Structure 1
Amino acid sequence: MTGKPVLQVRDLVKRYGTHTVLNGIDLDVAEHEVVVLIGSSGSGKSTLLRCVNLLEELDDGQIVLDGVDISDPRANPDHARRNMGIVFQAFNLFPHLNVLDNVTLAPKVVHKVPEAQARDRAVELLAKVGLADKAQAYPDRLSGGQQQRVAIARALAYDPRLLLLDEITSALDPELVGEVLALVRELAAGGTTLLMATHEMGFAKQVADRVCFLDGGALIESGPPSQILEDPRHPRTQQFLSRIIQAGRL
């Protein structure tokens, strides 16, 4: 990792009852870096993203954002979340609001941005994600790929320091995956700091600065895409990727 750390995760532990989902995760994400989490379903990728965003209560460990310990019980979680955007597998758009209102809602209500300023930013972002002509459309009139691009625009509306993406193509039809990944590729090229979980290995190889393999709640191996995806050193990483290759996904 090079550059100033935006995110620092230290010895993160998360349990559900007696089941340990995350077991001592250490992870840094530098400014403008793209870190991609890979691993089988149940490996802890989504839980890690939810813990970083403080949507899950930690059992142990520390999460530091821009030098501030946001996992401290005395910290204001809403203040921390204002500096992070998160996009989930499901689009989670408000069906009764049009696209423009979906994107402007949080800046106006949560961040107290004046309406005209929020609308100007939303129009700019919708143009960036290729949906300037859909500002007045309602979510049920959009394809899945278009809805996911709106969700990404909404997450970017308040210029977060860190954007978290959780398997954002997994709910899409195969023909719609490309348009969403193209947008993420543009964001990465533009310097957005990204921490994302994905099953799209070819995409991870193209866009990531660093790939992290999770298995059983542990971070098993981390490094450049060329090393992790082409020459993994840990036997468990090798086993996982051999199955991916057999399935024709890498």
Structure 2
Amino acid sequence: MSGSLLSIDGVWKEFHGHQVLRGIELEVQPHEVVSLIGASGSGKSTLLRCVNLLETVDDGRILLDGDEITDPRANVDDVRKKLGIVFQSFNLFPHMSVLENITLAPRQVHKVTKAEAEQSAHELLTRFGLEGKAKAFPDQLSGGQQQRVAIIRALATQPRLMLLDEVTSALDPELVREVLEIIRELKQSGMTMILTTHEMSFCRDISDTVCFLDGGVLLEKGPPEKIFTDPEHGRTRDFLRTVLEAGRF
């Protein structure tokens, strides 16, 4: 589709003879929020890792801003400058302060001056309610605060696209809300995002497009009101019924 920020074109990925992704086709438009849902092992996280070039695709291609990033000649470092990725484990450097964690990539990868990187970091910390934590170390923060710092660290490089992989799954329930509020704020600011989540009510509220993956196949996609109220496939209905019974709505 013309104007897509990200195009995933017939992507296949195999691990040890097992097809984890099977011909994925997906277009992501600028400022769109796309949620990937499905059971564990359906391929959601692997798809994000392929987009960030943490995994190589076996077939198909991925285009970012019209450039094929899965071309072996593509500069991986240049591609990742345009992407921010946040995992369920916070992956903060424990020996660095919050400020140092946030400014590391802008300074070393993007060659931003220390003063500029720190000014931007302080602005982001203030924006997301952590202005008093710049000098703190990760083990002095709650899980929710650590995940917020991880998101801020990804934002500090001013990415074109944010990838969020189950960013609330490692958090206690009372800490989930503060992280979801950050994602909601990012949507309001126009950030393009692809996220995997088991928080179905949040997914329904924030997404422009919801994709249901099953056994490595993108079985169904559409606006949240369609997917959650009138899904076409029985597998989608079964998954949503299971989620509802588990109290995840």
**TM bucket, shorter chain:** over 0.9
- State how far apart, in whole Å, the 2-side matches of 1:230 and 1:182 are: 24
Residue in structure 1 matched with residue 215 of structure 2 by the alignment: 216
Does 2:117 correspond to 1:121? Answer: no
Residue in structure 1 matched with residue 225 of structure 2 by the alignment: 226
- State how far apart, in whole Å, the 2-side matches of 1:228 and 1:117 are: 44
Residue in structure 2 matched with residue 184 of structure 1 by the alignment: 183
- State how far apart, in whole Å, the 2-side matches of 1:226 and 1:4 are: 25
In structure 2, what residue type is equivalent to 1:108?
R
Residue in structure 1 matched with residue 158 of structure 2 by the alignment: 159
Normalised by the length of structure 2, the TM-score is 0.98
Shift of 1:4: 2.8
Residue in structure 1 matched with residue 68 of structure 2 by the alignment: 69
Residue in structure 2 matched with residue 19 of structure 1 by the alignment: 18
- State how far apart, in whole Å, the 2-side matches of 1:247 and 1:208 are: 21
Shift of 1:7: 0.5
In structure 1, what residue type is equivalent to 2:63?
V
Shift of 1:186: 0.7
Shift of 1:53: 0.2
RMSD: 1.0
Shift of 1:141: 0.2
Aligned partner of residue 6 in structure 2, secondary structure:
strand
Shift of 1:86: 0.1
Normalised by the length of structure 1, the TM-score is 0.98
In structure 1, what residue type is equivalent to 2:137?
Y
Q: Which moved more, 1:238-247 or 1:220-229?
A: 238-247
Residue in structure 2 matched with residue 202 of structure 1 by the alignment: 201
Shift of 1:158: 1.1
Shift of 1:56: 0.3
- State how far apart, in whole Å, the 2-side matches of 1:154 and 1:36 are: 21
- State how far apart, in whole Å, the 2-side matches of 1:42 and 1:140 are: 31
Does 2:83 correspond to 1:78? Answer: no
Deviations 1:87-126 (A, max 9, x none): 0010000001000010000000111111111111111111
1:74-113 matched pairs, under 5 angstroms: 74-113=73-112
- State how far apart, in whole Å, the 2-side matches of 1:129 and 1:164 are: 18
Aligned partner of residue 12 in structure 1, secondary structure:
strand
- State how far apart, in whole Å, the 2-side matches of 1:173 and 1:75 are: 40
In structure 1, what residue type is equivalent to 2:62?
I
Shift of 1:244: 1.1
Shift of 1:249: 1.6
Does 2:132 correspond to 1:133? Answer: yes
Shift of 1:248: 2.1
Residue in structure 1 matched with residue 59 of structure 2 by the alignment: 60
- State how far apart, in whole Å, the 1-side matches of 2:230 and 2:178 are: 29
- State how far apart, in whole Å, the 1-side matches of 2:202 and 2:77 are: 32
Shift of 1:169: 0.3
Unaligned stretches of 5+ residues in structure 2: none
Residue in structure 2 matched with residue 172 of structure 1 by the alignment: 171
After superposing on structure 2, the runs of 4+ consecutive aligned residues of structure 1 that deviate more than 6 Å are none
Aligned partner of residue 35 in structure 2, secondary structure:
strand
Shift of 1:184: 0.3
In structure 1, what residue type is equivalent to 2:129?
G
In structure 2, what residue type is equivalent to 1:10?
D
Deviations 1:135-157 (A, max 9, x none): 00000000000000000000000
